[in-house]
Structure 1
Amino acid sequence: MITPAFELTQDPDFLTIIIKVPYARASEFDLYFEGEDFKFYAKPYFLRLTLPGRVVEDGREKASYNTDKGIFTIQLPKEIPGQYFEGLDMLTSLLAPKKSRSAKPLVEEIAASAEVSEEEEEEFDWEIEQTPYKESAESAQPLQNCYGFGNLRSGVFQRLQDELSDVIDIRDPDQIPVGERRRKRLAAEAAKFDPDHYLADFFEDEAIQHVLKYKPWWVDAHKKMTALQGESHQEEDTPKFVVFSEEEREQLRKFTNKSYLLDKRSCHHVYLGLIDILLAYCYEICVNEGEKNVESSWNIRKLSATLCWLESFSNIHDVLISFGRRVLCYPLHRHFGLVTRALNDTVMILQLGKAAVLKCLLDIHKIFRENDPAYILNDLFITDYCIWIQKSKSRKLAALSESLQKTTLTKSHLGFELEELEAAALLVQEEESMLRAAGTVSKQQLPSSESETSDSEESSSTSSSETEGSDSDELESSASEDGKKNSLQGTLQGEGTAPLIDCNGLRQGTKSLAFEVSDEKSKVSLQSTSVPGKLIEELEKQMHTAIRLSEQPEGLATASCVLQEQEEPCVSDPDRFSKESTGKGNFLEVSSKTNPLLFLSSTNEDEN
């Protein structure tokens, strides 16, 4: 059988049930209702509901069917006219639970309306820390560490080791007790906290102030509820401010209705975990201004220690401290103002009632469902929360919101020395502003000092102009002497044999020869910076070098070089060398069987 899409509305006298059964036979349907029971059958659709109030068959009941849309509309008279039926939006809780196959149920659920449950509800104190887990007992039973909704799951991650790192931050949660998880979480947060990132968001908070102005849907709903609070604040007024979309209703119909047997401590953990998840969700909605993106799933599960570290909190203050620390460690915007904003939004959602809480949980369920690794968190937490919240007591949510509103959270509670960091940063900022002010004053005094120095510059310029004449004469005479010394360098560089070192000792290139010229003796020393010493020794054995300097009538210095092989005698006869003159100047012509300069240059290149 197929459970059809349905919704319920009411007025003071009638309960209206709208059932969508496309492609059903209108001629073949059955309808039954009595008291709180309602049954509808139209092949292949079957619907059974447990109504929140009693209806009666008195002749005023009506039923109609729209063949084009395939919609049944059924109006049932209320047994008590004017009675308000609570929880008509909680579609999952209206579906009758499946019967057990055994002849007798193994566990029987006591009616929630018993007087004992009401007394326990009043004695429930949110501020009193529950009995903590003992490490000795946990370590004695390492395989029984539980987590998930109400700590009802264990051994899940033993089968999901490959996807574990993408979902939660703790490894081997089945082997790690709750106390050890908390210590590891605090250590990871302390290592992750970045003072520079925090101070950057503290001083440059334009983007953060912009997102803080965003108002999600629950702000307007809370204003409307507060406006009517003075007139007649009743529980039936709250559902008017929370409207479920068709997609959300469809998701509610897909859930399987079931009951949760939770003891007092587990119930306490469930409520505190709900606060932690709602805080992370409110932060995500605020910073992204209601828009979803690829990081939405990461933000929610990373900021909630319940989801990320499988944490079980013992009081509300610990929940707020954990959330505040994680906001200042992990997301892009790390500002304490975002922590306060998420806290205020969570109080509003809880004050709006379980319909608002359910709407937020359905949105979280959708975000995790569309993210591949995060679907595990739906199975562990969110799906059970969506089913459980529909049966929770409104007065417990009201008490929870009141306790959350009274709990204070300051920067000193987070343990990161935020106030000291801010004070030190403000002192540095003040010193920098004082230095800038001092620099501005000194710049204003600069024009007067510059006028005083200009006079001295003018007087020095007159004296320097007088010495320019004498200096220019000296420069001309030195230039003529330098020209004579550089004539040999220009001639040898024109041959293109190898880079040389000029007469002043300046090196020309890496592969170079050094010519040292002195007035007392005429000699040449051939050196190579890249040729090995043995090769130079062999070359010195094969050749002899001599330079003879002679002065021309015009006063230009020329050089004659005698280069011979080892078997020829050392000759200083100038007749073996011919000197030719061109219009560009005097140059050297080498007349020998082998040109040792060319030989040396080519040898250097081969060695390299």
Structure 2
Amino acid sequence: MLTPFFELKQSEEHVILEIKAPLANIQKTELIADDFNVYFHAPPYYLRLKLPGRVRENERESGQYDATTGVFTFKLEKVDRGSHFEDLDLIGKFLFASKKYQARPTIEVLNEDSLPAGSDTDEEDEFWISRQPKPDDVSSTTPGYGFANKTRGNGQALKEEFFEIIELSEIENTPIPERASLREAYEKEKFSDDHYLADFMEPGEITALIEFKAPWDESFDKKSEVKLTAEETTYLKDLGNREYLLDSEEKRTALLSLADLIFSYAYQYRTFGGENTVESGWTINKLSSTLSWFQSYNSVKDVKLACVRRALIYPLYRHFDLSMRVVEDTLKILKLGRRQILKCLIEIHKIFNSSEPRYLLNQLYVTDYCIWLQKISDRKIESLARLFEQEIITKDDIGLELEELEQAATVVLKEEMESVNKMMSHVSLEDRESGTSEEDASSTDDDADSDSDTVTNQTDSDSDCEVL
């Protein structure tokens, strides 16, 4: 059975369901609206939805079919008239959850909206996201990886087959808390003083990259104006739906890593001028500690530090001001809310699908993020954005001795300039002295010529006297 493309709209009294099914068998078409559930069947199409509010069929209002466009239109009556159904454009969240889970065959999933009152969804969000986990919170007999660390098993096989995209060598034998320290040690070995100083002393085109205007620069603080395109909506529909059983710690982990993914995407977008290239997949993969080290974060500051460190170690452009500009991009994207974030995630998903073998990262992370983000509350995204804005980092925090390198380079440059100036002054003095010598020599020559002329004139005079 095929899942057709559909749209959901609403009025005060109705939910309007439009289904595009050009190959449908009209005679066998049926639609059932039962409380929160809607069923549509028209071979070869099948659609099952769970709406955020109750609806029912109205016998006085039948469905319509446009043979030209192949679109069915059904008006479903709201049981609670005047109620507003949230997020009807995020159609993926209303699909009936699939029982097939990529890379996680044993995961049970639960929609956040169905959690009882008093669960972790009612916690103070800033405290919930920023708190440091207790040791017991992260302990596990077998360290996990993937979305919210819910995947276990096959770690060694992953490393052997996908070694070029995963830097963590012992996936299942490295406890989650130790991954950050191993990553930082590995990064110090990879950091190039020369490359960093070259970009620092001669930024060149980096200045243009910093000044580049991204879409979120134009729409910043215009959250309500961010809309998903028809292509993006279809993409979410094709990803399907799942339900997630995540405790408070797993949700916190997922949200913090989300900021890491967005930074990686924003960096590649800015440095490639908004165009996807053959290097886009590598850049996103490499800059994200989540994707390359399966790391979980303890705080928003940890996220920022990891992102900026890797942006100064791996890509072509390694400039602190450029990295901080991307931090600003990340904040703007988070502030614009779930739809802008979904746009970025969908683009990452497309890039990885065309970047062998990074499709694996879609299975482990990005697909789940696209689905889960449609379900979580706006409060949690807003809280993440506030914390991201409040946390300030400096060059000294990065741990790569950037200020010392810059100071040393500046001193060397100053000494070289002084040496050049001194040399130029010495050359100039020699030129002046040489010029004076030449003038004196010229003056002597002129005097000699004058004396010669006098003698000649006198001789000529004597000769004239003799003739007379």
- TM bucket normalised to smaller: 0.7 to 0.9
Distance 2:110 2:379 in 1: 25
Displacement of 1:363: 1.1
Q: Report matched runs for 1:140-539 at 5 Å.
A: 141=141, 144-225=142-223, 238=224, 240-246=225-231, 248-454=232-438
Higher helix residue share = 2
Distance 2:113 2:278 in 1: 44
Q: Do structure 1's residue 26 and structure 2's residue 26 form an aligned pair?
A: yes
Contact 2:352 2:362 in 1 (8 A): yes
Amino acid across the alignment from 1:449: E
Alpha carbons of 1:111 and 1:77: their partners in 2 closer, same or farther (altered >3 Å)?
A: closer
Displacement of 1:395: 0.6
Displacement of 1:113: 5.5
Q: Do structure 1's residue 44 and structure 2's residue 28 form an aligned pair?
A: no
Contact 1:60 1:76 in 2 (8 A): no
Which residue in 2 is equivalent to 1:595? none
Distance 2:121 2:58 in 1: 38
Distance 1:243 1:296 in 2: 22
Displacement of 1:72: 1.3
Q: Mean Cα displacement is larger for which, 52-61 or 384-393?
A: 52-61
Contact 1:157 1:164 in 2 (8 A): no
Q: Which has the higher contact order (CA 8 A, sep 6+)?
A: 2
Alpha carbons of 1:406 and 1:443: their partners in 2 closer, same or farther (altered >3 Å)?
A: same
Distance 2:120 2:174 in 1: 37
- Over aligned residues, Cα RMSD in angstroms? 2.9
Deviations for 1:464-515, whole angstroms, at most 9, x for unmatched residues? xxxxxxxxxxxxxxxxxxxxxxxxxxxxxxxxxxxxxxxxxxxxxxxxxxxx
Alpha carbons of 1:64 and 1:439: their partners in 2 closer, same or farther (altered >3 Å)?
A: same
Alpha carbons of 1:108 and 1:267: their partners in 2 closer, same or farther (altered >3 Å)?
A: closer
Deviations for 1:379-400, whole angstroms, at most 9, x for unmatched residues? 1111111111111111111111
Alpha carbons of 1:432 and 1:158: their partners in 2 closer, same or farther (altered >3 Å)?
A: closer
Tell me the SS of whatever aligns to 2:130.
coil
Contact 2:280 2:351 in 1 (8 A): yes
Alpha carbons of 1:445 and 1:11: their partners in 2 closer, same or farther (altered >3 Å)?
A: farther
Q: Do structure 1's residue 70 and structure 2's residue 70 form an aligned pair?
A: yes
Distance 1:299 1:377 in 2: 13
Alpha carbons of 1:70 and 1:169: their partners in 2 closer, same or farther (altered >3 Å)?
A: same
Between structure 1 and structure 2, the one with the greater Rg is 1
Alpha carbons of 1:352 and 1:14: their partners in 2 closer, same or farther (altered >3 Å)?
A: farther
Distance 1:133 1:333 in 2: 40
Q: Mean Cα displacement is larger for which, 289-298 or 25-34?
A: 25-34
Distance 2:113 2:307 in 1: 36
Displacement of 1:119: 6.3
Q: Report matched runs for 1:65-144 at 5 Å.
A: 65-80=65-80, 82-98=82-98, 112=114, 114-117=116-119, 120-122=122-124, 124-132=127-135, 141=141, 144=142
Which residue in 2 is equivalent to 1:485? none
Contact 2:239 2:371 in 1 (8 A): yes
Displacement of 1:460: 13
Which residue in 2 is equivalent to 1:9? 9
Which residue in 2 is equivalent to 1:510? none
Tell me the SS of whatever aligns to 1:85.
coil
Deviations for 1:105-146, whole angstroms, at most 9, x for unmatched residues? x998785353212664326432221124799x77xx5xx121
Deviations for 1:42-69, whole angstroms, at most 9, x for unmatched residues? 1121111111233344567453222122
Distance 2:210 2:60 in 1: 53
- TM-score by structure 1 length? 0.66
Q: Which runs of 5+ in 1 are unaligned?
A: 101-105, 226-237, 462-608
Which residue in 2 is equivalent to 1:593? none
Deviations for 1:166-193, whole angstroms, at most 9, x for unmatched residues? 1211223122222443232111111111
- TM-score by structure 2 length? 0.85
Distance 1:352 1:256 in 2: 24
Displacement of 1:367: 0.8
Distance 1:414 1:37 in 2: 51
Distance 2:325 2:249 in 1: 29
Amino acid across the alignment from 1:270: A
Tell me the SS of whatever aligns to 2:274.
coil
Amino acid across the alignment from 1:298: W
Alpha carbons of 1:357 and 1:45: their partners in 2 closer, same or farther (altered >3 Å)?
A: same
Amino acid across the alignment from 1:401: A
Distance 2:98 2:400 in 1: 51
Alpha carbons of 1:133 and 1:317: their partners in 2 closer, same or farther (altered >3 Å)?
A: farther
Tell me the SS of whatever aligns to 1:50.
strand
Q: Which runs of 5+ in 2 are unaligned?
A: 101-107, 446-468
Which residue in 1 is equivalent to 2:105? none
Amino acid across the alignment from 1:388: W
Alpha carbons of 1:98 and 1:431: their partners in 2 closer, same or farther (altered >3 Å)?
A: closer
Distance 1:90 1:154 in 2: 30
Q: Report matched runs for 1:557-568 at 5 Å.
A: none
